[in-house]
Amino acid sequence: MEWAGKRVLITGGAGFIGSHLANRLLELGADVTVLDDCSAGDSAKVPEAANFIEGCITDSATRTSALDGVDAVFHLAAIASVPLCEANPEWSDKVNLQASLKILQEASCPIVFASSAAIYGEPVSIPINEDHPIAPVGHYGEQKAAVDNAIRSIGVDSNSAAALRFFNVFGKGQDPSSQYSGVLSIFIDRSTSNRPITIFGDGEQTRDFIHVSDVIAALITCGESLIEQGTSSPAHGESFNVCTGQPVTLNQVVKVIEDSIGNKLEVGYDKARDGDIKYSSGDSIKLQQNFGWAPKTTLSEGISDLIS
Residues belonging to the active site: 140
How is the beta sheet containing 161-166 ordered, strand by strand? Answer: 51-54, 31-36, 7-11, 72-75, 111-116, 161-166, 238-242
Q: Where are the alpha helices (DSSP H) in the chain?
A: 16-27, 60-67, 82-87, 89-92, 99-106, 139-152, 183-192, 212-229, 250-261, 285-291, 299-307
SS3 of 9, please? strand
Residue 38 backbone class (left: φ over 0; alpha: ψ -120 to 50; beta: rest): left
> Beta strand 31-36 with 168-170: parallel, antiparallel or unpaired?
unpaired
The alpha carbons of the chain give a radius of gyration, in whole angstroms, of 19
Closest residue by Cα to residue 24 from 162, 295, 215: 215
* Contact predicate 232/304, CB 8 Å: no
